[in-house]
Structure 1
Amino acid sequence: MELVMPHFSTSGLSLAYDVHGDGAPVLCIHGFASSGKVNWLDTGWIETLTGAGYQAITIDNRGHGLSDKPHDPEFYHPGLMADDAVALLDHLNIGTAAVMGYSMGARISAFMAYAYPERVACAIFGGMGLNLINGLTDGNDIIAGLQAPDLSDLTHPTARQFRIFADHTGSDRKALAACMETSRQPMARADVRRINVPVLVAVGGTDDMAGRPAPLADLLPHGEAVIIPKRDHMRATGDKVFKSAALEFLGRTFRADPVS
């Protein structure tokens, strides 16, 4: 049965989203080649957040899931996708939310926290450490892998990994290739220093794509870091250590039951 999700319109695009539970809102922004369902529902995050008394909101980023999928790279700068996230909060009449992103979603969350600090109570950057600043070195290999005629043509391990993931999620590979061109835009170090909300930086202990979490947390005015033991970039997403650290952080910075 085909998944049906509500949509909203922004910047001429129709984007899919979903809302689960009640309570203080947590906007969940998925990673590259993923979707709200794959990144947050299938990994148990929605159950974890709603079980702790939060409202979990997912968005299918442009180019992903059930959202529109333009093939022009100029549609995928992280600042534009941060604008999408704010437009969703506007659509839902939500003033301020906690924001949790993974990988590309963490980069989007960082641009959102920088540009719209009044809308972000706190942020969680999963699968994104110092490479928020340094950029992604494997990006061109991933693009080549997405554009290759067949998986058997690929030898680069990261390119193979993302090609397999893209095929598994039934993604539009032309849209993903366009997205990879511009969504990996690094954030300026000076801008990172201006993200003036509490931020948890969580990265897998064997993640060689994200960059280390502690140096990024040290740059953030209110940053803290956690390492997810024995997890690489793909396997850290739904890890119980990540979930436990996130809930503890949210409990300190954005209570599910705020005192009136």
Structure 2
Amino acid sequence: MATFDSDGVLIDYLDDGEGPAVVLVHGFASNQVVNWVNTTWVTHLKRAGYRVIALDNRGHGKSQKLYDPALYSTDLMADDVVRLIDHLTLDRPVVMGYSMGARIAAFTALKAPQKLRGLVLSGLASNLVNGVEGGPRIAEALEAPSLDDVSGQQPRMFRAFAEQTGGDLKALASCIRASRQTLSAADVARIAVPTLVVAGADDEIAGSAEALAALIPGARALTIPGRDHMSAVGDRTHKAEVVNFLGSLAN
């Protein structure tokens, strides 16, 4: 693991393997290890011939914890990704994000299209535009005295997940209050790099992969049968299709 200073915020990241670079951006309440190492994404991409960079988003994992919601806008977290690309002097990597990470990746593609070779948006599809409800309730769940004090399926799921991943509950509550910005249909239509959109068929948080891909010029869509928000991330079909997409960018 290594760290770099992103405009005063210390960001932890993994850098492993050789070849064209892929930058991985994890989801809310997760971290680089849980989202990408434990699910064997890092191993899978390395074996396919890629250099894998995975950061802990601000407030997550080993990166600096911040407690002001204003410091967790998606725009600021996308700046962290752009600065990491510059810090490592990466030559037009592919940026892949899952869930909240997909939102960050989309913002990154709009900020710095000239720095990217391609984009993979996983675990957040049409709801990048339509919005994902429940942020305030999840924040309250994270601030509750214990999981026993939390009601509602989604708030309980995120509180349990945050505890499982060892997250800083106060920092995560600040993050969820500020990091669920949407993009308009016109915004996503300006994404100017080759894009793959992936979502589980049963993922109500993500929405429709086909609907989002239809808004992005030339984008591909993959819907994974029988997978929801938590089970889609490590799916074999998911990994195989991403590697196929990465290979297509070299042609």
TM-score (normalizing by structure 2)? 0.98
Q: Is the 8 A contact 2:200 2:224 kept in 1?
A: yes
Per the alignment, residue 103 of structure 2 pairs with 107
Per the alignment, residue 193 of structure 2 pairs with 197
Per the alignment, residue 221 of structure 2 pairs with 225
Per the alignment, residue 244 of structure 1 pairs with 240
Which of 112, 119, 126 aligns to 2:122? It is 126
Per the alignment, residue 156 of structure 2 pairs with 160
Task: State the distance in 2 between where 1:93 and 1:216 align.
Answer: 31
Per the alignment, residue 67 of structure 1 pairs with 63
Per the alignment, residue 117 of structure 1 pairs with 113
Task: State the distance in 1 between where 2:27 and 2:147 align.
Answer: 21
Per the alignment, residue 84 of structure 1 pairs with 80
How many percent of aligned residue pairs carry the same amino acid? 46
Letter in 2 for 1:241: T
1:222-246 Cα distance to aligned partner (Å, 9 max, x none): 2111011111101111110100110
Task: State the distance in 2 between where 1:174 and 1:40 align.
Answer: 24
Q: CA deviation at 1:196?
A: 0.9
1:143-154 equivalences under 5 Å are 143-154=139-150
Task: State the distance in 2 between where 1:140 and 1:178 align.
Answer: 10
Letter in 2 for 1:175: A
Which of 130, 134, 137 aligns to 1:138? It is 134
Task: State the distance in 2 between where 1:116 and 1:90 align.
Answer: 11
Which of 142, 160, 171 aligns to 1:175? It is 171
Q: Is the 8 A contact 1:196 1:222 kept in 2?
A: no
Q: CA deviation at 1:188?
A: 2.1
Considering only aligned residues, what root-mean-square deviation do their CA atoms show, in Å?
Answer: 0.9
Q: CA deviation at 1:71?
A: 0.4
TM-score (normalizing by structure 1)? 0.95
Letter in 2 for 1:83: D
Task: State the distance in 2 between where 1:59 and 1:31 align.
Answer: 11
Q: Where does the alignment leave 5 or more consecutive residues of structure 2 unmatched?
A: none
1:167-186 Cα distance to aligned partner (Å, 9 max, x none): 01111111111111111111
Alignment length (residue pairs): 251
Q: CA deviation at 1:57?
A: 0.4
Per the alignment, residue 7 of structure 2 pairs with 11
Task: State the distance in 1 between where 2:76 and 2:21 align.
Answer: 22
Q: CA deviation at 1:95?
A: 3.2
Per the alignment, residue 41 of structure 2 pairs with 45
Q: Is the 8 A contact 2:21 2:91 kept in 1?
A: no
**Which 4+ runs in 1 deviate beyond 2 A?**
none
Task: State the distance in 2 between where 1:147 and 1:106 align.
Answer: 25
Task: State the distance in 2 between where 1:232 and 1:193 align.
Answer: 26
SS at match of 1:206: coil
1:60-116 Cα distance to aligned partner (Å, 9 max, x none): 000000000100011111111111001111111113100110000000000000110
Task: State the distance in 1 between where 2:68 and 2:214 align.
Answer: 36
1:127-173 Cα distance to aligned partner (Å, 9 max, x none): 01111011111212211111111111122101111101100111111
Q: Where does the alignment leave 5 or more consecutive residues of structure 1 unmatched?
A: none
Q: CA deviation at 1:125?
A: 0.5
Q: Is the 8 A contact 2:20 2:49 kept in 1?
A: yes
Task: State the distance in 1 between where 2:230 and 2:246 align.
Answer: 23
Task: State the distance in 1 between where 2:58 and 2:131 align.
Answer: 20
